[in-house]
Amino acid sequence: VSTSAPRARNPRGEGRRLREEIAQAALDLLDEGGDDAVTLRAVARRVGITAPSIYAHYSGRDAILLELADAAFAELAHALEDGRHGRGDPADRLGDVCRAYLRFAREQPRRYRIMFGGVWDAGQALERGDITAEQARAVGARALDVLEAAVRDLGTSTDVTADAVVVWLGLHGLAHQRLVAPAFPWPDDIEDRLIGVLTGLDPART
Amino acid sequence: VSTSAPRARNPRGEGRRLREEIAQAALDLLDEGGDDAVTLRAVARRVGITAPSIYAHYSGRDAILLELADAAFAELAHALEDGRHGRGDPADRLGDVCRAYLRFAREQPRRYRIMFGGVWDAGQALERGDITAEQARAVGARALDVLEAAVRDLGTSTDVTADAVVVWLGLHGLAHQRLVAPAFPWPDDIEDRLIGVLTGLDPART
DNA sequence: TGTACATCAGTGAACGCGCGTTCACTGATGTAC
DNA sequence: TGTACATCAGTGAACGCGCGTTCACTGATGTAC
Nearest nucleotide, CA A38 to C1': D19
Interface of A with B in 24-53 (CB under 8 A): none
Q: Is the distance from CB of A80 to CB of A168 less than 8 angstroms?
A: no
What pLDDT shows up at residue A190? 98
pLDDT average, residue stretch B61-69: 94
Angle at B73 between CA B34 and CA B127, to 5 degrees: 85
What pLDDT shows up at residue B1?
A: 39
Instruction: Give the pLDDT band (50/70/90) at residue B190.
Output: very high
- pLDDT single digits (tens) A177-190: 999 999 899 999 99
Burial state string for B34-60 with b = 16 or more CB within 10 A and e = fewer than 16:
bbebbbbebbbbbbebeeeebeebbee
Tell me the per-residue pLDDT of A19-37, one tens digit each, with 9 for 90 and over: 999 999 999 999 999 999 9
Chain A residue with minimum CA distance to B158: A193
Distance B14 CA to D4 C1' (A): 25
Instruction: Give the residue, A13 or B90, on which the prediction is more confident.
Output: B90
CB contact, 8 Å: A55 with chain B?
no
The answer to whether residues B174 and B102 touch, using CB atoms and an 8 Å cutoff, is yes
Which of A110, A120, A197 is the best mutation test for B, with the most CBs of B within 10 A?
Answer: A197
Averaged pLDDT of chain B: 91
Least confident of A133-147, A150-164, B138-152, B154-168: A133-147
Alpha-carbon distances, residue B93 vs B101, B144, B154, B202 (angstroms): 12, 15, 9, 17
CB contact under 8 A, A116 and B189: no
Whether the pLDDT of residue B39 is over 90: the answer is yes
Least confident stretch, A75-79, B5-9, B60-64, B175-179: B5-9
Alpha helices in A48-140 (DSSP H): 61-84, 90-107, 109-116, 122-127, 133-138
pLDDT for residue B4: 58
* pLDDT at residue number B25: 97
Go through chain B and tell me how many residues it has: 206
Task: Say yes or no for a CB contact (<8 Å) between A202 and B201.
Answer: no
